[in-house]
Amino acid sequence: MKDCELTKISVEGYKKAQLKFWSKDDWMMKTNLFFSGSDNVKNFVYMGLSLESESKKNEDFDDKVYSVYEYTEVGKALIKFREYIEPTEEFIKEIKDGIKSGNPKKEFRKIMKEYGQFIPTEIILGGRVYFKGVNPGAIISVRESKKIMRTIGGKHLGGKTFNEKYWMESLNDYQNWDIIELKNPIIIFKLLPEDMYKKIISSLGKRILHKRQRDYSWNPGMTNIYDFIDELLLKIVHKKDADWDIFATVINVHDSKDVFFNCQILKSGKTKPSTLIHCIQKDFQLREYSLMIVYVVIGYDTDFKYIYSNKNKVELRKFVYDTENCEFDSIPLQRELVSMIRDGNPFIGIPILNSLNPSNESLVIGHNFRKTSNNEFKIDLFSYCTKTHRYVNLPKFTFYTLVILNNDVNNPPFEFIKWGNPFINYKYSWNIPCASLYLINGDNYSPIFLNQSRKQFNIGYVDCKCNKTCFICNYKTKRISNTDQISCTIINNWW
């Protein structure tokens, strides 16, 4: 640190109040001298906050958490030094080596253990004294409550009686000041040049940052768009280095027959992200449907909140589709399907639109993962219009494939009955699973839609009113039977 800015604190630095701990996180913040519940501080609490707090993880917090302390505080000076902190050459070298290593996360954990996880950019110097033994709701005299105490800064005469006048006068000597509050902390990696900081988060890879479930009522006769407006998602969206994406699925809550739902993401730099929800009905019904939307946000962990977690690392593949006059097409999967299944890496896909207009607002973009008879790994793409009830040319969009690493996965086979479409039952719980269908050695199959209700995944087919004039109705006509190798990769637990 080259320099600092020191501002003396006058009479407003004197405080008498109560310090309350309402949770373990609250206790961790305040005992580490953070009294502001900013996002940065909360993230450090999530990571463990300090070696002192880490060492106390297994202690009994009953006597500390949900307790109240009386305190007297005298702030004497505020020191700011954010603009004057520079990383050492040794620190920079270790960062560069960590970026180049085969396991950056492991190396950065070592660096944080050696140098610390964060650094405050402002501190308040002075003194504070705590009077312990006050419990919420307890009837206790002030005299009794001050039997046990802790002091930070200043001089104390000792004994059972606290002499406030003597303690306060001792603070007139700056040599008796101590740190009584830490403010505006930043992760240590933020001290580095911006380009190096970006290399760090890029080397750690993307991961699942957020998951949420929301109820939604689908209404006929209108374009059904759900705007993602939850606070945490929008915070991620506004982080310039997060490079975020969203995956979503819709669940038919009432298990309605002869109807299924499909969604695609609308992502534009000018508006909030949202999802476009389509309803496909065999026979049109003028009614409202209750749905549940499950969505996850993928991106870089710019706050290093999950650096101590080995779960939910992901790979994201993007394919920009701009071919014209094509009702059905196949794009490369860019990963080996069989190995993903064997290694327990679940995967899902979703189309992303960057704009909504009359030419695409009624188009359902479907997809199927498959391994061909020639041992190629493909994603079949097709488009169905809910207004004309027929297959139509694919619009321009980007197809995203998400592969989740180190996650529990279930690959159950479909069950077949004589009358009805193939299905997979699952146990309904608050943690709604997501699924992706795949075919092994499959060619010339009719496009398959995967429909999800509260307790079941089932296969859906659409009726095309083209009078056998479209490519799909002439060349993609096979339907799934119990002799086919078809299954689902089901994600039961995103976290």
pLDDT per residue as tens digits for the range 236-261: 999 989 999 999 999 998 777 778 89
**How far is it, in rounded angstroms, from Cα 159 to Cα 46?**
39
Higher pLDDT, 123 or 162: 123
> At residue 52, does pLDDT exceed 50?
no
Q: Whose CA is closest to 494, among 126, 208, 67, 91?
A: 208
> At residue 482, does pLDDT exceed 90?
no
What percentage of residues in the chain have a pLDDT greater than 90?
46
Instruction: For residues 17-23, give the mean pLDDT.
Output: 70
> At residue 57, does pLDDT exceed 50?
no
pLDDT class for 138, splitting at 50, 70, 90?
A: very low
Can you give the residue ranges of every domain in the chain? 5-203, 204-299, 314-491
DSSP codes joined into one string, 373-420: TTS-EEEEEEEEETTTTEE----SEEEEEEEE-S---B-PBPB--SSS
The count of residues in the chain is 495
- What pTM does this model have? 0.82
Stretch among 9-23, 25-39, 212-226, 437-451 having the lowest mean pLDDT: 25-39
> At residue 450, does pLDDT exceed 70?
yes
pLDDT class for 51, splitting at 50, 70, 90?
A: very low
- Please, what is the average pLDDT of the chain? 84
The token duo for 442 is: 């499959």
204-299 is classed CATH 2.60.120 = yes
CA distances from 101 to 95, 104, 108, 192, 204 (A): 10, 6, 10, 18, 11
- Look at residue 92 in the predicted model and tell me its pLDDT: 96
* CA angle at 452 for the pair 451 and 458, rounded to the nearest 5°: 55
SS3 category, 448? coil
> At residue 412, does pLDDT exceed 90?
no
97-131 pLDDT, tens digit each: 999 998 999 999 999 999 988 888 999 999 988 88
- Look at residue 56 in the predicted model and tell me its pLDDT: 47
- Look at residue 329 in the predicted model and tell me its pLDDT: 96
pLDDT class for 338, splitting at 50, 70, 90?
A: confident
